[in-house]
Structure 1
Amino acid sequence: MSPPPIRRSNHMARILLFDAVPPAWFDALAQFLRAHQPEGLPLELAQRADADPAKDQELLAGAHVLLVGLLGPHAAVGEDALRGADELRLVQKLGSRAAGIDLAAARALGIPVSLIPAPAHVACAEHALLLILALAKKLIPAHQRVVRRPLREAGPAPRPASASAYAYNWAAIQGIALVAGKTIGLVGIGDIAIELARRARALGMTLLYCDKNPLPKDEERELGLARRELDDLLRQADFVSLHVALTPDTANLLNADRLALMKPTAFLINTARGGLVDEAALANALRDARLAGAALDAWAVEPTPRDNPLLKLDGVIATPHIAAGTLSRNALFEAVLPNILAALRGEPVAGSLTPDLAPRPAVPIEPSQPKQEPPAPATPPAEQQPPKATEDRGQTTA
Structure 2
Amino acid sequence: MSFNDSVLICDEVDKVLEKILKENGLQVTYEPEITPEQIKEKISQFNIVIVRSRTKITKEMIDKAEKCKIIARVGVGLDNIDLDAAKAKNIRVINAVEGAMTAVAELVLGLMFSLARQIPRADRGIRNDQWLKKQMLGTELKGKYLGIVGLGNIGKRLGRLARGLNMNIIGYDVVPIDEEFAKDVGLMKADLDTLLQSSDYISLHVPLLDSTYHLIDAKRLSTMKKTAKIINTSRGGVIDEDALYEALKNGNLGGAALDVFEKEPATGHKLASLDNVILTPHMGAQTKEAQSLAANVIAEKIIQILRGVI
* TM-score in terms of structure 1 length: 0.51
- For residues 225-244 of structure 1, the aligned pairs below 5 Å read 225-244=187-206
1:145 to 97, 104, 125: 125
Please name the residue that 1:295 is paired with: 257
Larger radius of gyration: 1
Instruction: Specify which of 166, 172, 194 is matched with residue 204 of structure 1.
Output: 166
* C-alpha RMSD of the superposition: 3.4
The CA deviation string for residues 214-269 of structure 1, in whole angstroms up to 9 with x for no partner, is: 21433310232221100000000000000000111111110000001110010010
Which residue is equivalent to 2:285? 324
The alignment partner of 2:188 has SS state of strand
Indicate the residue corresponding to 2:241 in structure 1.
Answer: 279
Determine the structure 1 residue equivalent to 2:275.
314
Q: Which of structure 1's runs of 4+ aligned residues deviate more than 2 A?
A: 22-25, 28-35, 70-73, 216-219, 326-337
Residue 213 of structure 1 pairs with residue 182 of structure 2: no
Equivalent residue of 2:207, what SS?
A: coil
TM-fit CA distance, 1:304: 1.4
**In 2, Cα distance between the equivalents of 1:222 and 1:33?**
39
Deviation at 1:171, TM superposition (A): 2.3
Distance 1:135 1:196 in 2: 16
State the Cα distance separating 1:309 from its structure 2 match: 2.0
Contact 1:271/1:296, CA 8 A, preserved across alignment: yes
Give the AA of the match of 1:240. I
Q: Deviations over 1:355-389 (max 9, x none)?
A: xxxxxxxxxxxxxxxxxxxxxxxxxxxxxxxxxxx
Q: CA deviation at 1:146?
A: 1.8
Letter aligned with residue 188 of structure 2: A
- Matches of residues 28-107 of structure 1 in structure 2 within 5 Å? 31-32=19-20
CA distance in 2, matches of 1:247, 1:333: 25
1:188 maps to which residue? Answer: 150
Is 1:129 the counterpart of 2:109? The answer is yes
Matched-pair contact (CA < 8 Å) for 1:239–1:267: yes
- What CA distance in whole angstroms lies between the structure 1 residues aligned with 2:75 and 2:136? 44
Q: CA deviation at 1:139?
A: 0.4
Between Structure 1 and Structure 2, which shows a larger proportion of helix residues? Answer: 2
Instruction: Call closer, same or farther: CA 1:29–1:301 in 2, change over 3 Å.
Output: closer
| Pair 1:254-2:254 in alignment | no
Distance in 2 between the 1:279 and 1:302 partners?
13
Give CA deviations for 1:44-87 in whole Å, capped at 9, x if unaligned.
99xxxxxxxxxxxxxxxxxxxxxxxx9879xxxxxxxxxxxxxx
**Alignment partner of 2:230 out of 268, 273, 287:** 268
How many residues in Structure 1 have an aligned counterpart in Structure 2? 228
Deviation digits for residues 104-150 of structure 1 (CA, Å, limit 9, x no counterpart): xxxxxxxxxxxxx9342211111111100000011012112222125
Distance 1:30-1:144 versus aligned 2 partners, 3 A rule = closer
Paired letter, 1:315: N
Whole-Å separation in 1 of the counterparts to 2:283 and 2:18: 28
Contact 1:180 1:203 in 2 (8 A): yes
What is the CA-CA distance between 1:31 and the residue it aligns to? 4.2
Query: Identity percentage over the alignment?
Result: 35
In structure 2, what is the Cα distance between the partners aligned to 1:126 and 1:286? 24
Structure-1 residue corresponding to 2:71: none
Q: Which residue of 1 aligns with 2:33?
A: none
Matching residue's letter, 2:115: L
Contact preservation (8 Å) 2:146, 2:202: yes
Determine the C-alpha separation between the residues in 2 that align with 1:44 and 1:305. Answer: 42
How many angstroms apart in 1 are the aligned matches of 2:118 and 2:133? 12
Unaligned runs of 5+ in 1: 6-21, 36-42, 46-69, 74-93, 96-116, 154-169, 338-398
The offset of 1:281, in angstroms, is 0.6
